[in-house]
Amino acid sequence: MSLIPFGKLANRSYFFDRGLRFSCRRCGDCCVGEHGTIYVSRPEIAAIAASRHLSVDAFTARYLYPYRDSFSIKEDDQGRCLFFENGCAIYDLRPRQCRTFPFWFSTLRSEAVWRRVGRQCPGIGRGRLYTKSEILDFIVRSMSI
């Protein structure tokens, strides 16, 4: 079921009206290089902790820091996510923020921004065609983090 209300947001015209192609290449370019916030919800924390055979408390102390109503994944001094180890070590359980990349409001503000991000991300412009409706759903999901 779509998260997008049937109103202004869905009826506006965007540069992605005909959709955008994306296929994650698992290159890690979005996981390294810049410091940022990697929001992780409490249910995601529990699942990732279990996959690492750690209690939620031990996992939280080792890998997370407080952020808003939950936590963010720590990064090393170079802005590298602590779970990037020759690829994402938690790919199948990665947080929603990671799963919705590159369909974030910040990357879809304009076609110019999308193209700039595409120069850094080899998956942009390739693979599956995401529809306007799917993209708007991703935007709403990423804004609710």
pLDDT in tens, 126-143: 999 999 999 998 888 776
Domain extents in the chain? 16-26+33-143
pLDDT of 44 above 80: yes
Indicate the range of 3-7, 117-121, 130-134 predicted with least confidence: 3-7
Give the global pTM.
0.84
Using N-to-C axis directions, what is the helix angle for 42-51 and 56-63, rounded to 10°? 100
Task: Say how far apart CA 3 and CA 80 lie, in whole Å.
Answer: 31
Q: What residue ranges in the chain does DSSP mark as E strands?
A: 20-22, 39-40, 64-67, 70-73, 128-130
CA atoms within 13 A on the CB side of 130: 23
Greater pLDDT, 144 or 50: 50
Task: Say how far apart CA 133 and CA 48 lie, in whole Å.
Answer: 29
pLDDT in tens, 26-40: 998 889 877 889 999
